[in-house]
Structure 1
Amino acid sequence: MKVLIYFEGQQLLSKSGIGRAFDHQKKALESAGVPYSTDENELDYDILHINTYGLNSQRMVRKAKRADKKVIYHAHSTEEDFRNSFIGSNQVSAIYKKHLVRLYSSADFIITPTLYSKKVIEGYGIEQPIEAISNGIDLTRFNRNVEKEKQFRDYFQLPPDKKVIISVGLYFERKGLVDFVEVARRFPEYTFIWFGHTPLYTIPKKIRAIIQGDHPDNVIFPGYIKGDIIEGAYTNADLFFFPSYEETEGIVVLEALASRQHVLVREIPVYDGWLVPGENAYMGRTNEDFCNQIEQIIEKKAIDLRENGWQTAQGKSIQAIGQQLKSVYEKVLGN
């Protein structure tokens, strides 16, 4: 068995959750001993595992079908999480949905990150078998490291006693960026850092204005930062606050849980079945909810849920995902 993993537009999408999911797939297959290639010109393969939605992705599916290969579509995207993202996304979301339905329907099997996204895609009327498999988390990256934490504090010139609240994501309204900034206004004594980047010319004027300066002084938008600094931020910050309105999973939430970090998210359906408010994460629905909980968490008045959150992340390790992917591949070839 050999798998061709295809990912169109790697340079454009490498900083996104899909980009990290692609990296996790490769590590997962290596851990499970499944041979794979990422060379689109590869001919010696049994299954095309495709992650993207562009014209070349469609071409790769047609090419695989002509060669009588099996096709698995990894459904990272839905109409719901496309809305409130790029300029014009809401206006073309219905067209985007039809495009996704056409692509997903061309596959022999669909993988999607959560039971929630599985339910959404089933609601599109797609009849292909669908299995929910987490994008996974490379647990080794998120163990506490004092040197990484120092690099994080030094990079932002943060005094040891400065309270810090972080988030990670693209510059999308859908990610809750507006709410993140509005909550920050209520806590001028804390530093709020939003890690991530999206080309400014692709996002609506309102979001662009926030990034370019329409935000309080205690909010920092450092752009996309990887490696030791952000890994130090995950373990050293006082809270990971992710008020996203829509996700298909949320790899950054897994990263925060794996870092033994306090995690505060919006109560949305994607977390059903794996995040439980008051058990392994804090949840809210409004900015008022978030503010009340932030005060409790930062001042150490809330129940500490970090160990339970860490245990949740353990079940979504790269090794576990590798075995689940291997099982799907064997099932597809068997059919």
Structure 2
Amino acid sequence: MKIAIFTDTFHPDINGVARTLKQFTNYLDTQNISYKVFAPDSYGNEYVSNNITRFKSFSFFLYPECRLAFPSFFKIKAELQDFSPDIIHVATPFNIGLCGIYLAKKLNIPLVGSYHTDFDYYLKFYNLQFLSRILWKYMHWFHRPFKKIFVPSNETLLQLNRQGFANLKIWSRGVDCQLFHPFYDTKTVREQYGLSKKYLLTYVGRLAPEKDVNTLLAVAKTLPAEINEQIEWLIIGDGPQREELQNGAPLNMSFTGYLTGEQLAKVYAASDLFIFPSPTETFGNVVLEALASGTPAITVNSGGVKSIISVGVTGYLCEPGNVQEFVHSILQLLENDSLRKQMGLEGRNYALSQTWDHIFSNLLWHYTDVIEERKIQKYA
């Protein structure tokens, strides 16, 4: 099998789409499966591979980590014809994705796609709700040619079903439990960030309106003083709200910027709780990484994270924006060490069952199904 992937974000971009696709291409390497990625240039272009063709680009205003490229159509067509893929997978609904759709039709190549980002929910946080109808019309038109549309969670599948989408299949997310685990030396993390208080609470993600990080600040300021004195926060990530958040943050909250790899994994492992108020996730990779690290998660009862958290077993779910629910859940776990530790163990056990190999092999089965269906139609 030869696979062509069209995406408007790829490694080393830091977002769920880019990281998932990088995990996928890593898997394809281990299976000796040929692939070619068409993607925008990235920040500094430090990641180079013979399997990737990149194009000049600029940031998309609703999601700066996802880039709008200026692809050379004739270059893509020539490379695609030379590569001769069995299937095209379009991962994003922007310029490069549009090229993938057009060329799949032009060259008669089986086409699938994936839906990763709830842009309609994003509109609410940028006061652009009036664009919702236009957005959904575009999404319908864009996804109509796909033989299968892969979505990361059952919640997203139900949402798209309600919007009238068809050919939906679950393509869940896994986690690297060899990288993310609870067995790091947490003392070095505490020394690195000057942490001296009893509890460490962590957030990982973009610092942007759609992640509802303002709720995070409200929670930190609402916790009772006697508990707050024992807490330190690490806010890991970057984005358009960082300066605003830093200016309004309490003294026990530190901002690290983006962390990746082992550096990020060590912080998860050193944390007592992972707090994630974002209501717009189609999955929530960072929540699964926290669980793999043995850290219970307190998240929102919204989006894809609902399918990750088992309430009272691996963490708690709170209504979006409900500061008091978050405060109550945090207090419940900080005041009960044995429950918190048990949840950490359960989270780790759950993460161990979410292997990338199983998820990607299932995706390849779907690819094969689409390819075989095209062959039958061709010779019927």
| TM > 0.5 | yes
Residue 288 of structure 2 is aligned to residue 258 of structure 1: no
Counterparts of 1:1-335 in structure 2, within 5 Å, are 1-10=1-10, 14-31=13-30, 34-38=33-37, 39=52, 41-42=79-80, 43-85=83-125, 87=126, 89-127=128-166, 129-147=167-185, 149-159=186-196, 161-187=197-223, 188-189=228-229, 190-198=231-239, 200=240, 207=241, 210-268=244-302, 270-285=304-319, 286-301=322-337, 303=339, 304-335=342-373
Q: 1:138–1:317: 8 Å Cα contact kept in structure 2?
A: yes
User: 1:259 offset after TM fit, Å?
Assistant: 0.8
The residue identity in structure 1 corresponding to 2:350 is T
User: 1:176 offset after TM fit, Å?
Assistant: 2.8
The residue identity in structure 1 corresponding to 2:346 is N
Q: Residues 321 and 126 (structure 1 numbering): CA distance in 2 closer, same or farther, change over 3 Å? A: same
User: 1:246 offset after TM fit, Å?
Assistant: 2.5
The residue identity in structure 2 corresponding to 1:3 is I
For structure 2, list consecutive stretches of 5 or more residues without a partner in the other structure: 38-51, 54-78, 374-380
Q: Residues 223 and 269 (structure 1 numbering): CA distance in 2 closer, same or farther, change over 3 Å? A: closer
SS at match of 2:367: helix
User: 1:163 offset after TM fit, Å?
Assistant: 1.4
Q: 1:168–1:252: 8 Å Cα contact kept in structure 2?
A: yes
Q: 2:200–2:234: 8 Å Cα contact kept in structure 1?
A: yes
Equivalent-residue separation in structure 2 for 1:20 and 1:312 (angstroms): 20
Equivalent-residue separation in structure 2 for 1:299 and 1:75 (angstroms): 40
Task: Give the 4+ runs in structure 1 shifted more than 6 A.
Answer: none
Q: Residues 53 and 150 (structure 1 numbering): CA distance in 2 closer, same or farther, change over 3 Å? A: farther
Q: Residues 114 and 235 (structure 1 numbering): CA distance in 2 closer, same or farther, change over 3 Å? A: same
Deviation by residue 1:284-334 (Cα, 9 ceiling, x = unmatched): 222212112212212325622222222222232111112111111111112
Equivalent-residue separation in structure 1 for 2:32 and 2:334 (angstroms): 43
Report the TM-score when normalising by structure 1. 0.88
Q: Residues 271 and 302 (structure 1 numbering): CA distance in 2 closer, same or farther, change over 3 Å? A: farther
Q: 1:31–1:319: 8 Å Cα contact kept in structure 2?
A: no
For structure 1, list consecutive stretches of 5 or more residues without a partner in the other structure: 201-206
User: 1:270 offset after TM fit, Å?
Assistant: 2.9
For the aligned residue pairs, the C-alpha RMSD in angstroms reads 2.3
Equivalent-residue separation in structure 2 for 1:34 and 1:73 (angstroms): 19
Deviation larger for 274-283 or 226-235: 274-283
Equivalent-residue separation in structure 2 for 1:229 and 1:46 (angstroms): 38
Equivalent-residue separation in structure 2 for 1:229 and 1:78 (angstroms): 29
User: 1:131 offset after TM fit, Å?
Assistant: 0.6
The residue identity in structure 2 corresponding to 1:329 is Y
Q: Residues 319 and 240 (structure 1 numbering): CA distance in 2 closer, same or farther, change over 3 Å? A: same
Q: Residues 91 and 223 (structure 1 numbering): CA distance in 2 closer, same or farther, change over 3 Å? A: farther
Q: 1:240–1:262: 8 Å Cα contact kept in structure 2?
A: yes
User: 1:277 offset after TM fit, Å?
Assistant: 0.7
User: 1:271 offset after TM fit, Å?
Assistant: 4.0
Equivalent-residue separation in structure 2 for 1:272 and 1:284 (angstroms): 10
Residue in structure 2 matched with residue 204 of structure 1 by the alignment: none
Deviation by residue 1:46-94 (Cα, 9 ceiling, x = unmatched): 1111211212210121012111111111110234443345x45544343
Deviation by residue 1:184-220 (Cα, 9 ceiling, x = unmatched): 113432111221112x2xxxxxx46632412211222
Q: Residues 8 and 23 (structure 1 numbering): CA distance in 2 closer, same or farther, change over 3 Å? A: same
Higher relative contact order (CA 8 A, sep 6+): 1
The residue identity in structure 1 corresponding to 2:152 is P
Q: Residues 273 and 35 (structure 1 numbering): CA distance in 2 closer, same or farther, change over 3 Å? A: same
Equivalent-residue separation in structure 1 for 2:292 and 2:242 (angstroms): 31
Equivalent-residue separation in structure 1 for 2:115 and 2:303 (angstroms): 17
Equivalent-residue separation in structure 1 for 2:242 and 2:124 (angstroms): 13
- Number of residue pairs matched? 323
The residue identity in structure 2 corresponding to 1:196 is G
User: 1:174 offset after TM fit, Å?
Assistant: 2.9
The residue identity in structure 1 corresponding to 2:249 is H
Q: 2:234–2:253: 8 Å Cα contact kept in structure 1?
A: yes
Query: Which structure's residues are more often strand, by fraction?
Result: 2
Deviation larger for 301-310 or 135-144: 301-310
User: 1:6 offset after TM fit, Å?
Assistant: 2.1
User: 1:228 offset after TM fit, Å?
Assistant: 2.5
Q: 2:9–2:17: 8 Å Cα contact kept in structure 1?
A: no
